[in-house]
Structure 1
Amino acid sequence: MTVSASAPVTPGSDCRDSFRRAYENRYTWAPGFGGYRGRCIWEQGDRREEGTFQVGADLKASVEGIDDAEVLKAMNSQLWEVAIHRVRRSFEQTHGENTFIAGDTDSVGTEIIVGGKGEGDRYRIKDDVVTMVHRHIHGTVVTIYTTDVTDTGAGYLSHTYTSQYADPATGDARGGRNSFRDTFAPLPGDGPWVLSERVVTTEAHGHTPAGSQTFRFENLEAL
């Protein structure tokens, strides 16, 4: 499913309902998620690490069989990040204290200017998909652009996207821009959709060279 064009809305108008539709169109795990497990593989150039993992009903990940501390940390981080974004929280729980005003509309989508508790944050939406996220998180700003999504039939998952961290005061980049390509698949027996592969390509920044790494998750099964 590729993000396509939609009619613009009037700048300055309240767009809470439009943003709510995009928010509720994201794919999340249904209540009662019981966890899953499988094999995990990390590759970067000629390097390869392989182990097993489990994500529990509490969304906590555990990885075994990987001795490299840096790879182990990265694998745990990917599993945690995927799980935390699948948690189903109502729109009011997440955004009840925010206001949403429409800005301009461009090829990415209609700008959503956030006020209230989340003041300073911005989004763009197109065809009930959040195509851009600009959020202040723990003293930094992250900007994410989504260009392609996977339609699960029960909401969308971001398939191709970029993320960039920056200093909130100066706008200076913190690290190189990351490009992601995610592949998802449902667990056997019409189970929840989970990540089966993530390819992360990082641009060079300062003294840090460009690089690419692949995370693969195989033999997946529900707990």
Structure 2
Amino acid sequence: MTEQTSARELFRAAYENRYTWDKNFPGYSADVQLKQGNEVYTGKVCINRDLSVEVTGIEDEQVQESVYTQLRDVITHRKRSSFEQSHGKSEFNLGNRDKTDAVEILVKGDAMGSNYKIRGTEICQVSRVMGRMAFVIDTQESLDTGEGYVATRYDAVFRNPQTNEVTQVLKFEETYEKVGDYYVMTKQVVHSYAQEERTTTEFNFSNIKLLEPVAV
């Protein structure tokens, strides 16, 4: 009983230590530049107060979709939801501790078959199996904002769960700056390795402005 309690409490402490935007987050607008190889695209983005996303000014639909997806991922990590809301129905057990002093948190009852590793009060690994895709995300570096941590360098390894063959590796590097009371991403570099193909995609966000609160 105590082991399960401690696994849950360990995970809860790390989950609640993630940096998220509070209920007063007003949203923000920014200029975006996307670079891939010799190609450069520019446009404008807006994350609204309700966390909906708008991307304008990019004519290439695929590139526009890429920026939109990237911002939806940002929101997934910054959106605040309570531990009970997200993980209340799951059962947690402690697994092994590795040589970096990270401890496994094994989860039962999670719809996405997730397991985690916790180091101190940070989630340093997420492992999921989703149908024909399995992935492991390892955090290498993080930023302590004083209000929770943000992963700033992490790797994602995708495998075929049937054969265990690696299908793609993504390496992320991110930069955050405080605008007003909120930390927002100003740069993301993604190195992608798939079969023999290697690409680097760079997202740069500038002229970031928090939106004016709506007058009541």
User: TM-score w.r.t. structure 1 length?
Assistant: 0.87
> Which residue in the other structure is 1:83 paired with?
75
* Equivalent of residue 121 in structure 1, options 101, 110, 114: 114
1:203 partnered with 2:193 = yes
2:24 aligns with 32
- In the alignment, the residues of structure 1 paired with residue 191 and residue 116 of structure 2 have an alpha-carbon distance, to the nearest angstrom, of 23
Q: Which residue of 2 aligns with 1:177?
A: 169
What are the within-5 Å matches in structure 2 for residues 1-223 of structure 1?
Answer: 14-108=6-100, 109-118=102-111, 120-137=113-130, 139-174=132-167, 176-187=168-179, 189=180, 191-205=181-195, 209-223=197-211
Contact 1:98 1:119 in 2 (8 A): no
CA distance in 2, matches of 1:169, 1:35: 42
How many residue pairs get aligned? The number is 209
Q: CA RMSD in A?
A: 2.0
Distance 2:190 2:73 in 1: 14
- Aligned counterparts of 2:42 and 2:135: Cα–Cα separation in 1: 30
Report which of the two has the higher share of strand.
Answer: 2
Q: 3-state SS of the aligned residue for 2:71?
A: helix
Q: Tell me if the contact between 2:95 and 2:103 (Cα under 8 Å) persists in the aligned partners.
A: yes
Between the aligned partners of 1:11 and 1:211, the Cα distance in structure 2 is: 44
Q: Which runs of 5+ in 1 are unaligned?
A: 1-9
Q: Secondary structure at the match of 1:136?
A: strand
Deviation at 1:127, TM superposition (A): 1.1
CA deviation vs aligned residue, 1:102-160 (integer Å, no higher than 9, x gap): 11111341111111245842110101111100023465322100010011110000000
1:184–1:197 CA contact under 8 A, matched in 2: yes
Contact between 1:166 and 1:172, CA under 8 Å: does it hold in 2? yes
CA contact (8 A) 1:39 1:51 kept: yes
Query: In structure 1, what residue type is equivalent to 2:143?
Result: T
SS in 2 for 1:132: strand
Q: Residues 46 and 53 of structure 2 are in contact (CA less than 8 Å); yes or no, is this contact kept in structure 1?
A: yes
SS at match of 2:118: strand
Identity %: 33
Q: CA 1:119–1:198 in 2, change beyond 3 Å: closer, same or farther?
A: closer
> In 2, Cα distance between the equivalents of 1:196 and 1:51?
14
The structure-2 alpha-carbon separation of the partners of 1:114 and 1:157, relative to structure 1 and needing over 3 Å to count, comes to same
